[in-house]
Each structure stands twice: as structure tokens, then as C-alpha cells.
Amino acid sequence: MKKLILSITALSLFMTSCVSDDPTYNNDQDKSYDVPSETLFTNAEKELTDQLVTPSVNLSILRYASQYWAATQYNTEARFNITTRRIGDGHWNALYRSTLGNLQTSKEVILTEAGDPTVQKNKIALIEILQVYTFQVLVDTYGDVPYTDALKVKEVILPKYEDDAAIYPKLITRLDAAIAQLDTSADSFGSADFIYGGDVAKWKLFANTLKLKIGLNLADADAALSKSTVESAYNAGVILNNTENATFDYPGAAPMYNPIFANLVASNRNDFVASETIVNEMNALEDPRRAIYFNAMPDGSYKGGLNGPTNVYQNFSAIGDKLKAADFPGLLAEATESNFYLAEAAARGYAVGNTAEYYYNRAITASFENWGIASEAAAYLAKPEVAYATASGTTYKEKIGKQAWIAFFNRPFESWNSYRRLDFPALVAPANAVAAAEGEIPKRYTYPINEQTVNNANWAAASTAIGGNKLKVHVFWDKF
């Protein structure tokens, strides 16, 4: 058998080296050579945004976990089964390969290109910021993950996993270095940057908003580092207005259209309706955003489907038409989000310039503005059930948690983080959730099946370190 293998190998080498005298004959004709750094950067932005926005049950269960959407045909994922479609693998690949991989290659290309040194430094800094963002999402999804070894693809075949609590401070340090490198007087990626069009000043706001988020996630895990990080980010300037939002503007033509359009309209599928959890809450508050989030029933009412079972599409409110537009933008950071973070920070006693109530009001107002109904924000905030002083709940966590959950309707990952950090709203897993959920809303994704198969020793060590590769295991900052 060994002789046969050697003979076949030798024959293949002989054939590939002798078929043609053309020195480029053995080049992979399907591989793109000399891809510009700008193209790689655009692709990374899109892949990251797509993964955070997508409703595809092949890639995410977070619209089910946050009880925003309910299933009509295939309820396996609505019951938190993430192994059948290998959702953990899809999420992992989208972030490590398609996002971090493109960003890393873009960085390597930049280092070989000629150009204005200041512009090149800005490009590298923008890549660093998006890499930090992506690693933060990975840590918050799985817990311990490959970090130092993750992008050393030529040197490390089987990367080790690192302690999630140890990765976070490294992300802060790395983010600080990238922010310090930004020169707002110079250009960066220009029109290849679909988020800010190369505007370095806005990228600086985005980076500090990311720092604010990372710092706040640390609140129950490392109070001192959390406070210093949040206050540093606030003092440097974060996104406070919708004009500063980190928005990926989908052109609206294939393949550059919104993933919701791709999954609900282009595929002509009716797999989802609104969840009764979010609909019932918004009905109780007579929240004007209902008319945007959902389509009304024939009688003008809004009705949500059950979480877990399959629902008859015609019997419940469908997802709103605005969200299903081909060019509907995806968000990586927004004023609603950062104002809620600052409200929480103020409630925790951090020095962020104003009160929890002030930022709570600004967050809700920003949400109404972003959905195009700014004129209705004041009346909503005046409702006793909504006003910060009188809203239900004995703690700031409940007050902020409920309104952030409503506002994050199209930000499922940020909603999941907010729910895990604040423990509100008190979502209840469906009765028919899979046994692997152990009766809870998932607190993490289990590791990719491919990692167990290919990188078994490191996978096993990480699984043991976090307390078991289970859906109910908390990431390090989720203490309660």
C-alpha cells in the first residue's frame, strides 16, 4: 500500500511538472491573486454585518433566543437546537474565516503597498478596530476562544483557546493603540468603506463606543477596569446621535442586499412571524414602533406566535416590510445602544456626565428617530409605564433592560448581550426546548462540531476550562 501511495504521488508530481513549459501552468486559475486591500476590507465589513443581521436558521438562533421572532415551518432552531444545522460552525466560520481572515489579509496587503504613510496607518487602525469588534463577538458567543494563535494560519495549524477573561483586557489595550494611531486629518479606505466612507473621525467615535461596550460588559466581572474603561471611552467621545451610527448601507442589488431581504423576500419564504413575547409587551405599552416592527393583522391588531412550536403564518403578525427592504441598512453601533450603555453606567455610579434617566430618555428618543417616528417619542416617554421614575421594576437593570430589549429588535446580538448582562427582561425558555438547553435561554453557543473533530485536544481543554461545552454555561462576564 505504501508503494502504491508513493507511486501515485510521484506520478502526480511528474504530470504536474511536465504537462506544460508555461511557468504559470500550476497556478490555481480559480484563485484571486493580488486582491486590493480595499476589496478585502469591504468584504470583511459585509461578512461581519451579515452575520450580526441574518435571520437564517443556518447561522443564528438569536432572534428566537431574544423572543423577537417565532417559527412557522421549521421549529428545530426555535427550540434552541444548534447542532442539526451546525449553527456554531457557521457563526465561527463567518467571523474567523470571512471577517478576521479578510481583515488580516487586507492588513498584509497594505504593508506591501506604496502610499501615503498616514493613510496606511489609518487603514491598519480601522482593521484593528474591526478585528477587536469581531473577537469581542466571538468571546461573547463561546467563552474561551482562539485569540493569539487564531490568525497565525501559516505557523499554527491547531490554535489553542485562551481564557475569555484574559482576552478582554487585551482587546482594550489593542483598541487604545488603534485609537491613538488614527489621524482624523487624513483619509483611509474611502468609498471601499461601506460604513463611514473612510471618515476617520467617525471611526474614532465608533472605536470609543466599542470600548464603552467592552468596558460595560466587564461591570460584574472587574468593576475597577470596567469603570476606568467606560469613563475613558466617554471622555474621548462616543456615538450619541444617529448621524454618527456605524451603518452598513446595502446597495440593494445581489449579492449586496440585506440578509433579511435575502431570507424572507428573495427566497419567497414565510418561515417567521413575530413572537408573542415582544408583541404582547409592545401592545401593553401601545408602542408606536409596532407598526414598523410588524405588519398588522386584518383588523389592525398585532398578534405574536408561540415560542418553540410551529405557528400558522396567516394567523400572526409578519415581520414589518421596512425591515425586509433590499437596501435596509445593517448596524454595528448606534446612538440608541451607546445611550443605553451610558444610562447603565450612570446607574452603576460611573462618571459619564449625566444621570441614568437622561441617557435612558436619549436612548429611547434615538430609537424612535432611527425608525422615522421621532415625533412620537415624547408621548411614549411620558407614559407612566415608560418614564424612568415610574416604570415597572425595582432596579435600573429591569427598567433599562426592558426598553433596551424593545429597541434592539433588529440588533439580536446586542439584545442577547444586554439580556445576559442585565438579566432582564425575564425571558422564559419554551416548554419544548431541546434537552441541551436545560430549560434555559441559551447563555452561549456550543463550540463548532468541526473544532471537536479537527482541534480536539484544544477543544477539550477549553470545554473543561469553562465548565462544560453547554448552552447554559455563562461567559466570564455574565455573573448572574
Residue 255: C-alpha distances to residues 42, 99, 183, 197 (Å): 13, 17, 33, 20
d(CA 177, CA 173): 6
> What is the structure's pLDDT at 34?
79
Grid coordinates representing 205 are 467615535
Longest dimension (CA), the chain: 83
Cβ 124 vs Cβ 200: under 8 Å: no
pLDDT over threshold 90, residue 10: no
CATH number among 1.10.760.10, 1.25.40.390, 2.60.40.10, 3.30.300.210, domain 37-49+61-255+335-465: 1.25.40.390
pLDDT over threshold 90, residue 23: no
Cβ 214 vs Cβ 175: under 8 Å: yes
DSSP helix/strand/coil, 165: helix
Residue 294: C-alpha distances to residues 56, 469, 472 (Å): 18, 36, 30
Q: H helices of 54-82, where?
A: 62-65
d(CA 321, CA 302): 14
Grid coordinates representing 452 are 471537536
d(CA 182, CA 178): 7
d(CA 125, CA 181): 6
Closest CA to 64 of 265, 257, 287, 273: 273
d(CA 433, CA 65): 11
Question: What is the band of 1 on the pLDDT scale with cuts at 50, 70, 90?
Answer: very low
pLDDT over threshold 90, residue 217: yes
Q: Residues 332-339: what's their mean pLDDT?
A: 98
E strand or H helix that includes residue 473:
none
Closest CA to 57 of 250, 252, 267: 267
Cβ 37 vs Cβ 113: under 8 Å: yes
Closest CA to 247 of 309, 194, 204, 205: 194
> What is the structure's pLDDT at 224?
98
Q: What percent of the chain has pLDDT over 70?
A: 93
- Cα 302 from chain centroid (whole Å): 28
Considering only CA atoms, give the Rg of the chain: 24
> Model confidence over 66-113: pLDDT tens digits?
999 999 999 999 999 999 999 999 999 999 999 999 999 999 999 998
> Model confidence over 278-289: pLDDT tens digits?
999 999 999 999
pLDDT over threshold 80, residue 27: no
Closest CA to 38 of 203, 232, 188, 233: 188
Q: Which residue has the higher pLDDT, 450 or 25?
A: 450
> What is the structure's pLDDT at 227?
98
pLDDT over threshold 80, residue 392: yes
pLDDT over threshold 70, residue 29: no
- Number of CB atoms found within 10 A of residue 422's CB: 23
Q: What are phi and psi of 86, to 5 degrees?
A: 55, 50
d(CA 217, CA 223): 10
Q: Residues 346-368: what's their mean pLDDT?
A: 98
pLDDT over threshold 80, residue 18: no
Mean pLDDT score of the chain, rounded to an integer?
93
pLDDT over threshold 50, residue 19: no
Residue 371: C-alpha distances to residues 14, 100, 218, 322, 366 (Å): 64, 31, 30, 9, 9
pLDDT over threshold 70, residue 8: no
pLDDT over threshold 90, residue 38: yes
> What is the structure's pLDDT at 9?
28
pLDDT over threshold 70, residue 4: no
pLDDT over threshold 70, residue 383: yes
> What is the structure's pLDDT at 7?
29
Grid coordinates representing 428 are 422564559
d(CA 68, CA 62): 9
- Number of CB atoms found within 10 A of residue 296's CB: 14
Contacts of 368 (CB under 8 A, 6+ apart): 288, 289, 374, 376, 377, 380
Cβ 183 vs Cβ 201: under 8 Å: no
d(CA 67, CA 416): 10
Residue labelled with grid coordinates 424612568: 388
> Model confidence over 146-191: pLDDT tens digits?
999 999 999 999 999 999 999 999 999 999 999 999 999 999 999 9
* Inter-axis angle of helices 396-407 and 276-285, nearest 10: 110
pLDDT over threshold 70, residue 20: no
> Model confidence over 401-456: pLDDT tens digits?
999 999 999 999 999 999 999 999 999 999 999 999 999 999 999 999 999 999 99
Question: What is the band of 33 on the pLDDT scale with cuts at 50, 70, 90?
Answer: low
Contacts of 1 (CB under 8 A, 6+ apart): none
**Planar angle of CA 221, 227, 228, nearest 5 degrees:** 120
Closest CA to 313 of 303, 321, 323, 322: 303
> Model confidence over 304-313: pLDDT tens digits?
999 999 999 9
71 burial (CB, 10 Å; 0-12 / 13-18 / 19+) is: buried
